Amino acid sequence: MADWDAELSAFLQPFLDKLGHKKRRQMCPLYVSGLTGSGDRKSIEPMAERFAPGQYDRLHHFISDGLWDAVPLETELARQADRIVGAIDAFLVIDDTGLPKKGDHSVGVAPQYASMLGKRANCQTLVSVTLARDEVPVPGGLRLFLPESWTSDTERMAKAGVPDAMRTSRTKLEIDRLPK
C-alpha cells in the first residue's frame, strides 16, 4: 500500500502545484484516494470517514464550493496524457456518454439519446476527449452537454447556477470551444 500511496503522490504532484491554495492541495489527494480506494460508497461523507476523519466539512467544501481555474489543470492533464501515451500512433477519441437520471433538476437532464441504453431516456450527456494508444486510454477532458431544453430556458439555468458563459446552445462537437 505504501508503494501505491507514493505513486499516487508522485502522479498528483504536478496537478497539486496548479491548485494554488494550500487547503485545496491538502484535500485533493484525500478525495482522489476516496474515489480510487476501497469502499462501495463514493460520496463525500463515507469517503471522509475512511480517508479524512474529522474533515468532512473541508472535503465537502473542496468539491461543492471549490472554484478554481481549470485551464492549468487541463493543460497539465494534456501534458501527462502526452507523456504516458503520446506518439505518432496515438488516437484522440471524442465520445459522448449518457448518464440515466430521474427527475429534471440536475443540470442538463432531459430526454435525449443515451448511448449506454441504446434509446432516448432522461439523462445527462457528457462529452469526453481521450488520448489512447494500444490498450491505454488517458482521459483528457470532460464537458457537460446542455440540450436545447436547457439553453432556451434562461430562468432554469440561472436557478441551477449555470455560469453565463455556458448558457449558449452548442452542439456536442462545439463543446470543446467553451470559454476557458
Residues 166-179, mean pLDDT to the nearest whole number:
76
Does 68 have pLDDT greater than 50?
Answer: yes
pLDDT tens string 26-66: 999 999 988 888 877 788 898 899 888 999 999 998 888 76
The grid coordinates of residue 104 equal 429534471
Residue 161 has pLDDT above 90, yes or no: no
Q: What is the pLDDT of residues 91-146, one digit of tens each?
A: 999 888 888 988 877 899 999 988 888 999 999 999 988 999 998 999 888 889 99
How far, in Å, CA of 48 to CA of 63, rounded? 12
Q: Report how far residue 173's alpha carbon sits from residue 163's, in angstroms, rounded to the nearest whole number.
A: 20
Count the neighbouring beta carbons within 10 Å of the beta carbon of residue 127: 20
Residue the block writes with cell 508522485: 10
